[in-house]
Amino acid sequence: MIKIQEIIDRDNKILVLGNHEGIIQSVLDFDYLSGKKEGSVVGIVTGRSGFAKYFWGMKETLIPTLVSISPLTFNLVPNTNLWLLNLLSGRRTLTSTQDFFTQLPYAAGAALFAENVPEFHEQSLITQLGSKLIVGPASVGLLVPSILKLGPIGGITPDQINDSHLSESGSTSILSASGGMTNELINIAISAGHRLSFALSFGGDRFPVLSPCEAFLLAEEDPATKTVLYYGELGGDDEYELVQLKEEGKFTKKVIAHIAGTVSSLFPESPQFGHAKAKADNQKTTALAKREALAKAGFQVSNSFSEFISLVSKLK
């Protein structure tokens, strides 16, 4: 799997599957505000050959639209990472992602935007493509400040991108299953005066291709990252894998974590929350049990979201 430093050290280009004008324009705005000479989007697969009109700063620019994925379409210079931004529906996510990496096996990774991808499809993606850096399904993407914006992560308007200082690098990493909370944690970190090393959303579906454990290892291996801000939820065993990483000495950096869903303890049976995995099937997977396990292992864990914000504001 590619490391964050390798993303920084190389040029990065994006092929988009599907057409979402707001998301694609936000990637170009990020590139422009980061001082790049050209946009990172090299093509949009729409089923038609032609061009789509976007903006590069105040000027119009044309991006090629393609009938299908073809390795002959791209003439990338050496030392370039190629990424997939898959905006297609959940039912088409598996086959389209498989086709991309079959045609372009040297590609670095992908962001899968669709929600409710069939669970068998998600497991197939993990088995077949787990060696690639793939966030999602149901992910807002991957962000490396001034280098790569793969998805709507960090906002989709120029003001949001500018206000979040996404062209400035720092030492705080943002990791979350929730797309909305990924962007919220970015806002909290920036408001407290911090700058990002990288940020990503694993994805809200039950079986994201990139696991939280793997994302924490990315942060551990990234020389710029000093602190991880982590937003987790009830359900699943992800946090216990993080505890194991800590206990085995494989993760050593500072973490401020919040695990949402303690309200589930007020119900006779744990309710299903917004994300597919966000349901506690037993006592071990409740938010309270996870908070206790993380705190016992040495992570800094908040008891409320307001306390989480306070801890971030005190971070040096």
Active site residues: 275
Q: In Å, what is the CA distance from 240 to each residue of 74, 199, 213, 286, 296?
A: 42, 21, 9, 12, 11
Q: Which residues contact 96 (CB under 8 A, 6 or more apart)?
A: 17, 86, 88
> Going by C-beta distance under 8 Å and a sequence separation of 6 or more, which residues neighbour residue 59?
none
Question: What are the DSSP calls for 113-134, one per residue?
Answer: --S---HHHHHHHHHHHTTSEE
Q: Which residue is associated with the tokens 């324009």?
A: 25
Q: Name the nearest CA neighbour of 245 among 277, 279, 221, 262.
A: 221
**Cβ count near 303 (within 10 Å):** 13
DSSP-derived pairing of the beta strands 80-86 and 11-17: parallel
Query: Using alpha carbons only, how large is the chain's radius of gyration in Å?
Result: 19
Q: How far is CA 106 from each of CA 43, 73, 78, 147, rounded to the nearest angstrom? A: 17, 14, 12, 19
Estimate the crossing angle of helix 90-103 against helix 119-129, to 10 degrees: 20
Give how far Cα 44 sits from Cα of 13, 18, 39, 47, Å. Answer: 12, 7, 13, 9
CA angle 101, 106, 112 (to 5 degrees): 40
Phi, psi of 155 (to 5 degrees): 110, 165
Q: What's the CA gap between 7 and 280, in Å, rounded?
A: 36
